[in-house]
Structure 1
Amino acid sequence: MATGRGRLLQLQWRGLQAPRLPLGVGSAPGRTGFRNGPCIRYAAGCATLKQHARRERHCERASADCSVSLDSMPSEILLKIFSYLDAGTLLCTGCVNRRFYHLANDNFIWIRIYSTAFSPKRSNWKVNSVEKTAVTMNLLSVEDKEAGYWKKEYIAKQIASVKAALAQVLKPVNPYTGLPVKTKEALRPRWHSLIAKYNLSNLTASTMFGCDRLIRIFCLNPGLLVGLWKREEELAFVMANLHFHHLVERSTLGSATIPYELPPHSPLLDDNPEYGLHGYQLHVDMHSGGIFYLCGTFRNLFTKKGYIENGYAKLIVISFKNNTEHLPLIGKVGLSWRTDIFDGCIKSCSIMDITLLDEYGKPFWCFSSPVCMRSSPRPSDGPNFLGQTYYVDYMDSEGKVHVQLVWIEETEEYFIVNLVLYLSIAKINHWFGTKY
């Protein structure tokens, strides 16, 4: 009796509760039947477990035999599935493999997407003219078009609509800078730009831009400022300095793989042979963290023909000899930076924005870049000033900027005593369509 009860308890403990049989099954009630009862229940439980195990193995084999990969589906089923996708998801699906790419170019799917996105919304009933009806019938001739035709039409129409919307927002122009006024409004609802990845191991001491007690900063063209911690040699922050000119187009119409290209410039004929560049206007800003040290506009800039130095046309904005043109920098110049934990200010560094407009008010040369004031090893070529002389230089493929400053001890401020632009002759010839 103890043995039978122990077996029953053991089965219950393992979670294998044997089925309860009614009295009289297997043997009559009595001592003999009582001894054989647990054995019959145990055997029945084992049989049930075996059936359950066989059933599980059968289901596993059946599921293994019935597993179907998505790629092995017939094209008709895949096309039906693709017809429920939106344009963005369908474009991503076409990047899976070669077969999905061809299926995702199906004209019947794309003409439905095209018609839904760009169908005219009429408020009243109108009878189409013969020309409009012919155009509509031509649009609906799906089979006559090559694969992917309506996908290209949809993408081209989307780009054109975005350009039209942006052109409407950017129509108002600032009379001082010649740039759109609502650049921020145009960028706010759009997606973020993509910043390319750089190899930080290439940042050496020779390319260091400035430093303070916590970080070192490096300038990476175009317009990226990278801060590295001094001790850990790890990335502290990245600052992007972008000029407003074509910023909306570069951010919304370009990508990491296909950057936005500026529209081709139509050359302007020079109508005054006695002068070189004339009637130009310069707007220059020097700032950091919302603090502006300099904000000035210089008009009626010119240079005579033949006044060329080493392949550059020299455009004098502030001259040594004219003391009335010298300008002070307001406040202590420094590049402010901030992270979630630390902040600081790198002395003698700032952001310089240059906007040079031609005689018709069109942007001729624009850039935004960090600059650093460095002490001059030699005295200035102009009048004698009381104080240490500093200079700021910038250079790219289109031109150079040279700024010379003097530190006045009595007033504790910098004065700009010389500002010169050097414009590349190749840039000028391309602008005017000339070759020399």
Structure 2
Amino acid sequence: MATGRGEFFRSFMEGLDRIPAQPVAVTRQKNGGGGRPGADGRFAGPDRGQAGGRRTRRRPGAPQSPVRGTEPSCSGQAAGFPQIKSSSKENWLERLPSEILIKILSYLDAASLFCVSHVSKLLHRLANDDVMWQKLYTPEFGSQKWKPKTAADAAVKEDAAGDQSAGRWKKMYFRAMAGQDMNKWRKELKDISPYTGLPRQTEWVLRSLNVSWELTLCDHLGRESTLEHSRVFFFESSVIVRWSGGYVQYHHIRSIQLYGVRKEPLKSPKARKPHWRSLILKLDTKTQRHRVIGKDGLIKMLLLQPGVIVGIWRGQNRVAFIMVSLHFHKLVEKSLLGSPACPYSEPVDPPPVDDSDADLGLRGYTLHFVLHNTGTEIMSGHFRQLSCRTVQFQRGLVELRVINRTNLSQHRSLSGSIKLPWKFQDLEGAVENCCFMTLTLLDEFQKPFWCVSAPIYITMTKTSLSFDYKGDHFLMQYGNPDGEVRMKLVWLKEQKQFFLISLTVYVAVVKVNQRFSRAY
């Protein structure tokens, strides 16, 4: 029904555009002459020149005037050409009475009506008519008894009921529509895993909602190209998304924007409509300097913070692929509830404050830590009861020692080598010494406090980090405004594997103070 209304409106607009232009009438003299009287007092007829009754021959190649009996203009325009107003420049739609336009708009569904409101000021005013939106709202939500479950929901309901301004029914319609759609998948996200502190069904919800991720690459001229993901890799607490670069030159890219997109099934009538895009990440490649984190015989990998890997063909500067790792924390909301210009803003839910607890925010942390690539987990660990003392504050960071270098019982080996496989069409390979890190830090109330999933790479140190092992020593480091991660590893030649001998997590004191209302 909604599609039929949209087709009717589209056909109506096309019909108006096909109306031919009205011909311009030329006023002729009563005596049948087409021009002014000549020197002898006679009028110049249709086949006579200005000087008398003789015919004026046209020079070969000279343009012929379509209207006779007109004088050349003194302006720069062509002589004798009347000003004909093209039908394509005339807005025939706005010449219709408002009653007819409202009648036409009443056949549209909510999505089409919302799009039409951005065409012109007149359509914006008519498409926001409260009577039309009330007729759309009442059949879908008027008979439903909605009972608020929280104080926030009750406040929204009271605001909608007390709002008597223009556009009230339009706001109520979209609020009800958004709430109805979100309730379907929010119920599935209430089942929290005690191991990771994240919803168990995040992957299932993303797949059932047909959520995908798109990249928009913008060059220095403002031209945009959109890439759809070619492959996704789901893990327990993150997902790796990969896009094929095609023929894009890296030095032409001005900015990279990551969007979450919910696509309707092809058989659905909503599949024709443009998909809603929710901005997740935006970075400027000109101001954000890249770092080479590894390469093989074909590919050179560049790292752009806060965590975008760009694979470049060696010697060509052409993009082969782009990879991003997304943490599961609020990923469904980030992929659906943001806008094309503004990312989703996570609501602040502070824990209960206990003024009698002097060490609130410094103890009781739980860490779920994973090192992985696109296919396998290199290392996974779960650590409880992490704490810090105020004397351990360094550079404005709270230090949480997860694996102590001096405690040999805590050291653990990594399964397999640290490498990141890649694939482009029929070509594939692996870049050594880099992978992905997924970190989930829970506070003492088992709520996510710091969640990050990003690329990480190893660098060799010149000095020995531990005298308990013989072999080459390496560092793996990551940092952003919320905190830092520092790992120390040893390569055991006989076992041909890495050994993790130290893992330390640093959290920004500012982040702790904001979360727990402290003043450390």
Coarse TM-score class (shorter-chain normalised): 0.7 to 0.9
Task: Call closer, same or farther: CA 1:314–1:196 in 2, change over 3 Å.
Answer: farther
Instruction: Summarize deviations over 1:135-185 as a string: whole Å, max 9, x none.
Output: 9xx98x9xx943321111111122222332232010111110000000012
Instruction: Summarize deviations over 1:315-371 as a string: whole Å, max 9, x none.
Output: 100011001101111012211111223211110111100000111110110000011
Instruction: Summarize deviations over 1:33-60 as a string: whole Å, max 9, x none.
Output: xxxxxxxxxxxxxxxxxxxxxxxxxxxx
Contact 1:209 1:218 in 2 (8 A): yes
Aligned equivalents of 1:366 and 1:184: distance in 2? Answer: 17
Match of residue 200 from structure 2: 181
Does residue 76 of structure 1 match 2:99?
yes
Deviation at 1:236, TM superposition (A): 1.3
Contact 1:275 1:304 in 2 (8 A): no
Match of residue 420 from structure 2: 335
2:212 maps to a residue whose letter is H
SS in 2 for 1:170: helix
2:124 maps to a residue whose letter is Y
1:215 maps to a residue whose letter is I
Task: Call closer, same or farther: CA 1:151–1:288 in 2, change over 3 Å.
Answer: same
1:254 maps to a residue whose letter is G
Does residue 284 of structure 1 match 2:307?
no
Does residue 115 of structure 1 match 2:134?
no
Match of residue 303 from structure 2: 219
1:208 maps to a residue whose letter is V
Does residue 312 of structure 1 match 2:397?
yes
Match of residue 151 from structure 1: 170
Match of residue 235 from structure 1: 319
Unaligned runs of 5+ in 2: 1-83, 146-156, 220-249, 252-284
User: Between Structure 1 and Structure 2, whose CA radius of gyration is higher?
Assistant: 1
SS in 2 for 1:81: helix
2:196 maps to a residue whose letter is T
Q: Percent identity?
A: 35
Aligned equivalents of 2:107 and 2:359: distance in 1? Answer: 67
Normalising by structure 1, what TM-score?
0.75
Aligned equivalents of 2:425 and 2:172: distance in 1? Answer: 46
Task: Call closer, same or farther: CA 1:258–1:74 in 2, change over 3 Å.
Answer: farther
Does residue 192 of structure 1 match 2:224?
no
Instruction: Summarize deviations over 1:266-305 as a string: whole Å, max 9, x none.
Output: 2543554368621211001111112110111011111123
Does residue 396 of structure 1 match 2:480?
yes
| Equivalent in 339, 343, 350 of residue 255 of structure 1 | 339
Does residue 363 of structure 1 match 2:448?
yes
Structure with the higher strand share, 1 or 2: 2
2:176 maps to a residue whose letter is K
What count of residue pairs does the alignment treat as equivalent? 356
Does residue 104 of structure 1 match 2:124?
no
Contact 1:267 1:433 in 2 (8 A): no
Task: Call closer, same or farther: CA 1:405–1:192 in 2, change over 3 Å.
Answer: same
2:313 maps to a residue whose letter is W
Does residue 351 of structure 1 match 2:436?
yes
Aligned equivalents of 2:91 and 2:458: distance in 1? Answer: 68
SS in 2 for 1:118: helix
Deviation at 1:311, TM superposition (A): 0.6
Task: Call closer, same or farther: CA 1:220–1:112 in 2, change over 3 Å.
Answer: farther
Aligned equivalents of 1:353 and 1:215: distance in 2? Answer: 24
Contact 1:211 1:217 in 2 (8 A): yes
Match of residue 519 from structure 2: 435
Aligned equivalents of 1:121 and 1:255: distance in 2? Answer: 28
Contact 2:290 2:304 in 1 (8 A): no
Aligned equivalents of 1:303 and 1:64: distance in 2? Answer: 75
Task: Call closer, same or farther: CA 1:261–1:372 in 2, change over 3 Å.
Answer: same
Contact 1:193 1:252 in 2 (8 A): no
| Equivalent in 169, 183, 186 of residue 167 of structure 1 | 186
CA RMSD, Structure 1 to Structure 2 (Å): 2.7
Aligned equivalents of 1:196 and 1:273: distance in 2? Answer: 48
Contact 1:405 1:417 in 2 (8 A): yes
Aligned equivalents of 1:220 and 1:77: distance in 2? Answer: 55
SS in 2 for 1:306: helix
| Equivalent in 85, 103, 109 of residue 86 of structure 1 | 109
Contact 2:419 2:434 in 1 (8 A): yes
Unaligned runs of 5+ in 1: 1-60, 123-134
Contact 2:398 2:508 in 1 (8 A): yes
Contact 1:285 1:353 in 2 (8 A): yes
| Structure number with higher relative contact order (C-alpha < 8 Å, ≥ 6 residues apart) | 1
2:510 maps to a residue whose letter is A
Does residue 265 of structure 1 match 2:345?
no
Match of residue 4 from structure 1: none
Aligned equivalents of 1:286 and 1:184: distance in 2? Answer: 19
Aligned equivalents of 1:407 and 1:64: distance in 2? Answer: 77
